[in-house]
Amino acid sequence: MAYADRFGRTISYLRVSVTDRCNLRCWYCMPEDARWLSRSDILTYEELLRVVSVGVELGISKIRLTGGEPLVRKGLTSFVSALVRTRGVREVALTTNGVLLTQYAAELKAAGLSRVNISIDTLDSARYERLTCGGRLSDVIAGIEAAIAAGLRPVKLNSVLHRGACMDDIRALIEFARSKGTALRFIELMPLLDLEPRLDRRWEDQFISADEIKARLDGESLGHVEFLSPVSRPFCDTCNRLRLTADGKLLACLSRGGSVDVKELVKNGTDNQLLVRAFNKCLALKPEPWNAWGESARVARVSAIGG
């Protein structure tokens, strides 16, 4: 039986943030001086697995691990293996900045990871360092190559569109993805961050639609390129997901709809029926399909909600 919300959307996908920490400081995600949650506030892998298992019993079958940067948390490979062994889980995927993939790609594949999405916004080393506050582009490229070599399929590259991005960067990413045999996804900048660090401009000044970029690329071969338009062309009517934050909050929607705190339920060892009720309460909070991004709540850093 399908697990559906009050608007008839089947919920089969859970994004699980395993940490709010990250080894980069991308300008659209978090401030340079980000303060992390205390370790006591973070759910253990066993606690995360318990919440996930209840969700799977209700009808969730796809899990995507996010952060922060999920690979900075020790023991992630074993967690992937435990998820893969969970009856009812059909796919476990990962979103990462790629910096640590040279170390973990082969292990993750062996553990049963299905696919990986890697964030990369430019192929200019100096610009990458500035946008990420110190990251090394060479680490990410090596991580992409490691994921390909490990046999993770498909490898998808994620790039956030913004007004300050130059077309040379965009064209270079298109050609790079083609040369590596990977998919490339351009994603519209969403108005989630309270303040855009290191850029003295409002979100409204930074936003550029996917349609505008596509128009500039008219005539180019884009068979391996996907454009995600959550702002200009919202796809909320087909949303099939919930989110679980590292500190135990079930989120009904990325930007609005409220949340249900399950941390105490798992830490106190209460009956799973209370977790079932928590999932159902979260499901009831999923908002009606909409396109009013101006109503969304801003956050101090996107890493706190798992992206």
- The CATH number covering residue 209 comes to 3.20.20.70
6, part of any domain:
no
18, part of any domain:
yes
138, part of any domain:
yes
* pLDDT of amino acid 140: 98
Residues of the chain with confidence (pLDDT) below 70: 1, 32, 192-202, 257, 291-307
Number of structural domains the chain divides into: 1
Q: Model's pTM, two decimal places?
A: 0.92
Distance, in Å, from the CA atom of 28 to the CA atom of 164, rounded to the nearest integer, reads 12
Find out whether 72 and 102 touch, Cβ atoms under 8 Å: no
Q: Reading across the β-sheet that carries 155-161, which strands appear in turn?
A: 225-228, 183-188, 155-161, 115-119, 91-96, 62-66, 13-17, 241-244, 249-251, 259-261
Domain containing residue 101 = 13-304
2, part of any domain:
no
* pLDDT of amino acid 61: 98
One DSSP character per residue, the chain reads: ---B-TTS-B--EEEEE--S--S---TTT--TT--PPPGGGSPPHHHHHHHHHHHHHHT--EEEEESS-GGGSTTHHHHHHHHHHSTT--EEEEEE-STTHHHHHHHHHHHT--EEEEE---S-HHHHHHHHTS--HHHHHHHHHHHHHHT-S-EEEEEEE-TT--HHHHHHHHHHHHHHT-EEEEEEPPTTBSS-TT--S-HHHH---HHHHHHHTTTS--TTEEEE-TTTS--GGG--EEEE-TTSEEESSSSSS-EEE-HHHHHTT--HHHHHHHHHHHHHHPPPS---GGGSPPBS-GGGTT-
Whole-angstrom CA distances from 84 to 11, 61, 62, 77 are 19, 10, 10, 11
4, part of any domain:
no
In degrees, to the nearest 5, what angle opens at C-alpha 160 toward C-alphas 157 and 162? 150
Instruction: Look at the block and give the residue holding tokens 């992937």.
Output: 80
167, part of any domain:
yes
173, part of any domain:
yes
130, part of any domain:
yes
Distance, in Å, from the CA atom of 25 to the CA atom of 191, rounded to the nearest integer, reads 17
